Amino acid sequence: MSDTGSDTKRKTSTRLKVAKPRLYKVILVNDDFTPREFVLVILKAVFRMSEEQGYNVMMTAHQKGKCVVAVYSRDIAETKAQEAIDLAKQAGFPLMFITEPEN
Ligand code: NFA
């Protein structure tokens, strides 16, 4: 009863810490070497995109230079971007993904 006040304070400061999960965009960057079909394989495997979604994202990057693939927490965005880069590198392609905060 007498420490109701301090409990309330602790709860409030905890909420302030968890209430702001910044979201990060994973962006596909165009290059002149990676085959379109390989880009599609990566988008489907790593980012769980459908054939149609993947094709549209791949073609947008191809035509405009880059395209947002998806938005995640920072940790997931960076992990998925690195996974995709590594898979491409293993296959001999310079495919690049970058991450950036949404706001
Ligand atoms: N521009 C690549 C090509 O013509 C395809 C590509 C699309 C690569 C999107 C990277 C990103 N083979």
In this prediction, residue 15 carries a pLDDT of: 63
CA of 81 to the centre of ligand 1 (A): 16
What would the two tokens of residue 23 be?
């979201």
Where does the chain have alpha helices with state H?
Answer: 4-18, 36-47, 51-64, 74-90
Domains and CATH numbers, the chain: 21-101 (3.30.1390.10)
Best probe residue, ligand 1, of 55, 62, 68 (max atoms within 8 Å of C-beta): 62
Q: Cβ distance 19 to 40 under 8 Å? A: no
Residue 95 Cα: closest atom of ligand 1 = 10
In this prediction, residue 21 carries a pLDDT of: 84
Mean pLDDT by 10 residues, the chain (103 residues): 42 64 96 98 98 98 98 98 98 98 92
CA of 99 to the centre of ligand 1 (A): 18
CA of 94 to the centre of ligand 1 (A): 10
Q: Cβ distance 72 to 80 under 8 Å? A: yes
